[in-house]
Amino acid sequence: MTALPQERRVVTAIPGPKSQELQARRTAAVAQGVGSVLPVFTARAGGGIIEDVDGNRLIDFGSGIAVTSVGASAEAVVRRASAQLADFTHTCFMVTPYEGYVAVAEALAELTPGDHAKKSALFNSGAEAVENAVKIARAYTRRQAVVVFDHGYHGRTNLTMALTAKNMPYKHGFGPFAPEVYRVPVAYGYRWPTGPENAGPEAAAQAIDQMSKQVGAENIAAVIIEPVLGEGGFIEPAKGFLPAISKFAKDNGIVFVADEIQSGFCRTGQWFACEDEGIVPDLITTAKGIAGGLPLAAVTGRAEIMDAAHTGGLGGTYGGNPVACAGALGAIETMKELDLNARAKRIEEVMKGRLTAMAEKFDIIGDVRGRGAMIAIELVKDRGTKEPNPEATAALAKACHQEGLLVLTCGTYGNVLRFLPPLVIGEDLLNEGLDIIEQAFTRI
Ligand SMILES: Cc1ncc(COP(=O)(O)O)c(CNCCCC(=O)O)c1O
């Protein structure tokens, strides 16, 4: 397989004629509930480029929603997964186990925050990991209530829909949802009403008051939070918020679950975003970047908590598939060898520098935020009122797509343009993508 040239190339309309033909077949055969940001059919992908079936090469600022951090065809992932494929594709770890699963669990124990004894259980999707984190926390505490936060996102299964904040498109029409789920405010620094110096501790005090008065700390099995909220809008809780919530959980025998499915594995310039304020979670859920594109997810945590579920209480047919585990070992090898935490920090420096300069020129940019290669701009109609501007966000994304730059949006209000480039993207491509964004502002 020849290496994919790391160059943007637009040779047809986007989507091109072959993509349009495939789109017609897709419409006839695939449920319309499965959407796509950009109906461009992929032929190859690698580095910072996605090549479509019409020969267009798009700059990738999405990484398949924060998955292909090491690239979509990283050498170590392909090498290890190919070797595993040739040996065996599946035996079901609950039937006859295999070393790859154990090796991934050992790596998770090494890499996740905290120097205590840790264990893991492996699954296929982030939502499945979150579901099992709740099962484990309930088994350990013998309590039922689960607390989550405004703007949080945790998946599309029944329980994780209950945990997720935004109704459309994730929850609308799919209820009833699982009970014993409670939602409290998060310190949305850009929008939190108090001053930035107090937003974190003050918001935590409000959330803790609600948990104590409306749920009862003694009834809470788990608190689940994303250290950097992803689908809700790349919200970094104001400083002081996470430590206060973590302390409240510790003081009240509540399992603190960090959902690092989007923010984990070097995405924010650290192995895990928890590290930024020294948070050591009791459980951590991971997926996405863990395996270079192969489907793998995990719950990792304090051994005594992870062992609370009775034998046979955790599992699933494909959980910790051997090929996905091989991919994970390849992805982790790549993260270490290329020092992708440093790469993510450099991406942050370049992107924030350019986007902050753009904010000086375009006053619909209300906020530039994020860490590492998890960066976003929040678009508003008016910086004074901070009124969300979803229309401009959609128009900007469309303008970028037409120029061969794949960007994604997010946010409760649909007004956040998020940037999730592969951590292996070249700096020239990164800057070329930023050029396209800047030009798009002049055209909307
Ligand atoms: C923090 C956090 N927890 C859990 C999940 C869920 O992970 P799954 O692998 O998509 O189930 C996510 C997945 N985020 C992208 C969802 C995309 C979409 O479905 O529209 C996440 O970001």
Task: Write out the DSSP string of 313-374.
Answer: SS--SSTT-HHHHHHHHHHHHHHHHTTHHHHHHHHHHHHHHHHHHHHHH-TTEEEEEEETTE
In the predicted structure, residue 227 carries a pLDDT above the cut 80: yes
Q: Is 25 left (phi over 0), alpha (psi -120 to 50) or beta?
A: alpha
Pocket test for ligand 1, best of 123, 154, 229, 374 (most atoms within 8 A of CB): 154
Ligand 1 centroid to Cα of residue 130, in Å, is 10
Ligand 1 centroid to Cα of residue 127, in Å, is 7
Ligand 1 centroid to Cα of residue 112, in Å, is 20
Tokens of 285: 């859920």
Computed from CA positions of residues 188, 190, 191, 193, in that sequence, does the dihedral angle turn out positive or negative? positive
**What SS3 state is found at 201?**
helix
Q: If pLDDT is split at 50, 70 and 90, which confidence band does 194 have?
A: low
The 8-class DSSP code of residue 224 comes to E
- Ligand 1 pocket, 143 CB below 6 A? no
Whether 130 and 224 have beta carbons less than 8 Å apart is answered as yes
In the predicted structure, residue 438 carries a pLDDT above the cut 70: yes
Ligand 1 atom 20: residue of nearest CA: 170
Q: If pLDDT is split at 50, 70 and 90, which confidence band does 155 have?
A: very high
Pocket test for ligand 1, best of 261, 268, 290, 410 (most atoms within 8 A of CB): 261
Residue 191's pLDDT is 85
In the predicted structure, residue 74 carries a pLDDT above the cut 70: yes
Pairing mode of beta strands 57-60, 49-52: antiparallel
- Ligand 1 pocket, 233 CB below 6 A? no
Atom of ligand 1 nearest to the CA of 169: 20
Q: If pLDDT is split at 50, 70 and 90, which confidence band does 182 have?
A: very high
Q: Tell me the average pLDDT across 299-321.
A: 98
Residue 198's pLDDT is 74
Tokens of 98: 């295999």
- Ligand 1 pocket, 231 CB below 6 A? yes
Is the N-terminal amide bond of 176 cis, ω within 30° of 0? Answer: yes
Residue 375 β-bridge partners: 370, 419
Measured between alpha carbons, how far is 263 from 260 in angstroms, rounded to an integer? Answer: 5
Ligand 1 centroid to Cα of residue 270, in Å, is 20
- Ligand 1 pocket, 152 CB below 6 A? no
Ligand 1 centroid to Cα of residue 48, in Å, is 21
Percent of the chain with pLDDT over 90: 95
- Ligand 1 pocket, 260 CB below 6 A? no
Helices 322-337 and 340-361, axial angle in degrees (round to 10): 70
Ligand 1 centroid to Cα of residue 421, in Å, is 17
Whether 141 and 302 have beta carbons less than 8 Å apart is answered as no
- Ligand 1 pocket, 65 CB below 6 A? yes
Atom of ligand 1 nearest to the CA of 263: 1
Measured between alpha carbons, how far is 372 from 364 in angstroms, rounded to an integer? Answer: 23
Tokens of 157: 């299964």
Whether 107 and 286 have beta carbons less than 8 Å apart is answered as no
Q: Which helix (H) or strand (E) holds 378?
A: strand 374-382
Helices 75-87 and 322-337, axial angle in degrees (round to 10): 160
What is this model's ipTM? 0.99
The tens digit of pLDDT for each residue in 51-68 reads 999 999 999 999 999 999
Q: If pLDDT is split at 50, 70 and 90, which confidence band does 385 have?
A: confident
The tens digit of pLDDT for each residue in 326-381 reads 999 999 999 999 999 999 999 999 999 999 999 999 999 999 999 999 999 999 99
Q: If pLDDT is split at 50, 70 and 90, which confidence band does 196 have?
A: low
In the predicted structure, residue 1 carries a pLDDT above the cut 60: no
Ligand 1 centroid to Cα of residue 154, in Å, is 6
In the predicted structure, residue 313 carries a pLDDT above the cut 80: yes
Q: If pLDDT is split at 50, 70 and 90, which confidence band does 269 have?
A: very high
Residue 140 β-bridge partners: none
What average pLDDT does the chain have? 97
Q: Which helix (H) or strand (E) holds 395?
A: helix 390-402
- Ligand 1 pocket, 267 CB below 6 A? no
**What SS3 state is found at 304?**
helix
Ligand 1 centroid to Cα of residue 354, in Å, is 28
Cβ of 206: how many Cβ atoms within 10 Å? 16
Provide, for the chain, the percentages of residues in helix, strand and coil under a 3-state DSSP scheme, each rounded to the nearest 5: 40, 20, 40
Atom of ligand 1 nearest to the CA of 262: 22
- Burial degree of 30 (CB within 10 A; 0-12, 13-18, 19+): exposed
Measured between alpha carbons, how far is 107 from 112 in angstroms, rounded to an integer? Answer: 8
Ligand 1 centroid to Cα of residue 285, in Å, is 11
Atom of ligand 1 nearest to the CA of 65: 15
The tens digit of pLDDT for each residue in 115-124 reads 999 999 999 9
Ligand 1 centroid to Cα of residue 262, in Å, is 7
Ligand 1 centroid to Cα of residue 2, in Å, is 32
Comparing CA positions, the residue from 222, 78, 209 lying closest to residue 141 is 222
Pocket test for ligand 1, best of 34, 36, 65, 174 (most atoms within 8 A of CB): 65
- Ligand 1 pocket, 232 CB below 6 A? no
Ligand 1 atom 22: residue of nearest CA: 262
Comparing CA positions, the residue from 4, 235, 266 lying closest to residue 111 is 266
Q: Tell me the average pLDDT across 223-249.
A: 97
Tokens of 217: 């700390």
Residue 44 β-bridge partners: 51
In the predicted structure, residue 89 carries a pLDDT above the cut 90: yes
- Ligand 1 pocket, 149 CB below 6 A? no
Q: If pLDDT is split at 50, 70 and 90, which confidence band does 195 have?
A: low
Comparing CA positions, the residue from 303, 282, 307, 258 lying closest to residue 117 is 303
- Ligand 1 pocket, 300 CB below 6 A? no
Whether 271 and 265 have beta carbons less than 8 Å apart is answered as yes
- Ligand 1 pocket, 131 CB below 6 A? no
Whether 330 and 292 have beta carbons less than 8 Å apart is answered as yes
